[in-house]
Amino acid sequence: MTIKEWIDNSASQIASAGISSSRLDAELILAHALGVNRSWVIAHSFDTIDDAHTLRSADKLLASRLARVPVAYLTKRKEFYGRSFIVDENVLIPRPESETIIDLLKQHLTDTRGYPSGFKSYIKDNPLYILDVGCGSGCLGITAKLEVPDAEVTLCDISADALAIARRNTTQLGADVDIIESDLLATFIPGATSPIPLLPSPFHLILANLPYVNPAWQRSPETDHEAALALFADDDGLSLIKKCIRQSRTILSDDGYLLLEADPCQHEAIVTYGEQNGFQMVEARDYAVVLQRVTS
């Protein structure tokens, strides 16, 4: 069987299962089974697949995809902001909409030090401290560090399994960040049960792609295979975001920023809650909301 024949047949099966990305999925699955990248598979479409073990492996992966297991969990990889991140079932799969948070961070990168000059003059000549809360695979915090190398970035998550994946990603991508286990921001709040050493500075920015899916929402079958801890939240999906807003005031610097991801239908409720807890809205774009701590 040639590569093209396997892909054509598999793509047809995937399409029949109601999956729109059928050919892409088939190419990624076979590339993973062959131990090559997708470009190689496309360029060698008329090569013959001679190894029976490879065919069995590819067919097994195909069966899982037909059962709606996400491709990223099959290949253990997902692209985010032009970089390849390791993923598994313990972390949420990075999504393109999350890249907006990085865009909002970078849009202010105008001064020669590489700091977001739009994030107020309090940064001055000091390091920019960023926290990625509920980091999962680490895609937000690691990307922030790589895009703003002079920033001091900390990643935290309640899941030790997720943090293990984040550590692997920091190593493979060469990102010098701190990684700490924490239930949201609890570990960073003064007087916490197990506080970390005092920070050299409050955080200037907190990035948060927390679980925000309302379990009652209609969603794709693929989400059944993702970690519920990383996906769902009570209170119409807002319980953890609201808790993060309350906790953020304690560890954010004066005029500090909170960059949140949430469904656009939730933005109004988030902005209202933020205003009730000492924040003002700066911008809402796509799935991202930027709140700024108000000092009185």
Tokens of 241: 């975001």
Mean confidence (pLDDT) of the chain: 89
Mean pLDDT along residues 109-120: 48
Buried b / exposed e over 96-120, threshold 16 CB at 10 Å, is eebbbbbebbeeeeeeeeebbeebb
pLDDT of residue 254: 84
Indicate whether 23 pLDDT > 50.
yes
* 136 Rama sector, left if φ>0, alpha if ψ -120 to 50, beta otherwise: left
With a pLDDT cut of 70, the percent of the chain lying above it is 90
Mean pLDDT along residues 95-116: 74
Indicate whether 32 pLDDT > 80.
yes
Residue (of 269, 148, 61, 20) closest to 281 by Cα position: 269
Q: How far is CA 32 from the centre of its chain?
A: 22
Q: How are the residues of the chain apportioned to helix, strand and coil, as percentages rounded to the nearest 5?
A: 45, 20, 35
Indicate whether 172 pLDDT > 90.
yes
Residue (of 52, 73, 62, 76) closest to 7 by Cα position: 62
Pairing of strands 178-181, 152-157: parallel
97: Cβ contacts below 8 Å, ≥ 6 apart: 261, 286, 287
pLDDT tens per residue, range 270-289:
999 999 999 999 999 999 99
Amino acid type, 271: V
pLDDT of residue 108: 65
Show the CA angle centred on residue 27, arms to residues 74 and 139, nearest 5°.
50
pLDDT tens per residue, range 248-266:
998 998 888 999 999 999 9
pLDDT band at 145 (very low <50, low <70, confident <90, very high): very high
Total H helices, total E strands in the chain = 11, 9
pLDDT of residue 125: 58
22: Cβ contacts below 8 Å, ≥ 6 apart: 11, 12, 14, 15
Indicate whether 115 pLDDT > 50.
no
Q: What is d(CA 96, CA 87) in angstroms, rounded to the nearest whole number?
A: 15
pLDDT band at 230 (very low <50, low <70, confident <90, very high): confident
pTM over 0.85: yes
